[in-house]
Amino acid sequence: MLADLEDLVLCESFSADHAAVARSAEVVGALGARLLGAGPEMIVIDGVTHLRWTFGTPRVLLVGHHDTVWPMGALQKHPWSVADGIARGPGVLDMKAGLVQMFHALASLPSPDGVCVLVNGDEEVGSPTSRQLIEESVRGCAAALVLEASADEEGALKTARKGTSRYEVVVHGRAAHAGQEPHKGVNAAVEAAHQVLSIAGLGDSVGAVGAAPSVLGFATVTPTLLSAGSARNTVPALARVSVDVRAPTTAAQDRIDELMRGLTVRTPGARLEVLGGRQRPPMEPESSAELFALACRIAAELGLEPLRGIAVGGASDGNYTAAAGCPTLDGLGAVGGGAHADTEYVEIAQMVPRTRLLTQLIDHTTS
């Protein structure tokens, strides 16, 4: 398993580099072909390469991704290494170790019949080209098992996830000379400042109007990127505000969308344009309850440490499978920490136990 993990990590697969993702797909495909005895269906959508294996009539969808957040050349600063029971390297936790565990779990079964494996190449950027493929693949399945990394360094599974929305608020003003006739301009930067303050309070507003909190807590609405102006001596004619939204329920996500599109101008003469909207729907706790209970029973039978389930703010492709009505359990991949950070690592001793857990989960859900 470590040798296979090394092969995957050494093939860099930055989401934005479609050629690198294509090379990674070849490596992942070769690993799957060796362990499963069958090559994948290679699916290229808008230049992004995805892989899919289908065995018989699928009852279980195994979900993973082979792209990473790490820019090309990251291996030079963060080389593959194994020392003191820890494996390191770009994407080792998120989620190349999960792919290795998935293939080895399937290979240890008498037959992969009843399983569909989908490994996409754009999860880290929101799965824009693979969302339809995910929803198509999960149709008719009784369970979706997601090989994202565990929720924490102790191996907790992810039993709920917030939904995500992304917006860009574009403020249109009017340029003028900042020294000679600023009164003739409409300052888009000033209007953007008003909008930032309004947007920052929308999460509290949703809570106030009765969007019930879940185990995930309340919605968060966070202004992130802000830009304005074209020159130091010119009244800004254009400003942009990026907004990150995390919502625990579909109702909260819908309410925030209404509020974002209802933003009003404070500066006379300015005009607002709200772009973007909902991305991943919430993965609510009910979607994972039965599968989590099954995983807990299996862990006890295998003599593993008792499992814990955690609700998290980050989204994954499990949000899509859950929203499609398929019971979904996430965080079944590697145990470690530091995803997306210089400290990213995998705890090697947990790879085999997690693989055994997944093997039994697949066996139970396909029978």
pLDDT digits (tens, 9 = 90+) for 200-249: 999 888 865 444 455 667 899 999 999 999 999 999 999 999 999 999 98
Pair 309, 328 in one domain: yes
The single-letter code of the amino acid at 192 is A
Pair 40, 149 in one domain: yes
> For residues 332 and 102, what is the distance between their CA atoms, to the nearest angstrom?
9
Q: Which two tokens stand for residue 271?
A: 């005009």
pTM of the predicted model as reported, rounded to 2 decimal places: 0.90
Q: Which residues pair with 119 in a beta bridge?
A: 51, 64
Residue 356 has a pLDDT of 98
| CATH number of the CATH domain containing 186 | 3.30.70.360
Instruction: State the pLDDT confidence band at 275, using cuts at 50, 70 and 90.
Output: very high
Which phi and psi angles does 364 have, rounded to 5°? Answer: -70, -35
Task: Give the model confidence (pLDDT) of 175-195 as tens digits.
Answer: 999 999 999 999 999 999 999
Q: Is the pLDDT of residue 90 over 70?
A: yes
Pairing of strands 143-146, 60-65: parallel
Residue 306 CB partners (closer than 8 Å, separation 6+): 296, 299, 300
Residue 204 has a pLDDT of 86
Pair 13, 138 in one domain: yes
Instruction: Please say which residue of 278, 301, 334 terminates a domain.
Output: 278
Mean pLDDT for all residues in the chain: 96
For residue 190, the enclosing domain spans 163-278
Pair 178, 249 in one domain: yes
Name the residue among 251, 257, 252 with its Cα closest to residue 218.
252
| CATH number of the CATH domain containing 362 | 3.40.630.10
Name the residue among 13, 238, 250, 1 with its Cα closest to residue 124.
13
Q: What secondary structure does DSSP assign to 41-104, as a single string?
A: EEEEETTEEEEEEEESS-SEEEEEE--BSPPTTHHHHS--EEETTEEESTTIIIIIHHHHHHHH
Pair 204, 326 in one domain: no
Pair 20, 93 in one domain: yes
Residue 210 has a pLDDT of 44
Task: Give the mean pLDDT of 61-76.
Answer: 98
Instruction: Please say which residue of 260, 278, 296 terminates a domain.
Output: 278
Residue 207 has a pLDDT of 64
3-state secondary structure of 105: helix
Residue 214 has a pLDDT of 58
Instruction: Please say which residue of 258, 278, 298 terminates a domain.
Output: 278
Pair 145, 7 in one domain: yes
Residue 116 CB partners (closer than 8 Å, separation 6+): 52, 53, 54, 55, 58, 60, 61, 62, 137, 141
Number of domains in the chain: 2
Task: Give the model confidence (pLDDT) of 19-63 as tens digits.
Answer: 999 999 999 999 999 999 999 999 999 999 999 999 999 999 999
Provide the 8-state DSSP code for 363: H
Residue 215 has a pLDDT of 62
Task: Give the mean pLDDT of 128-154.
Answer: 97
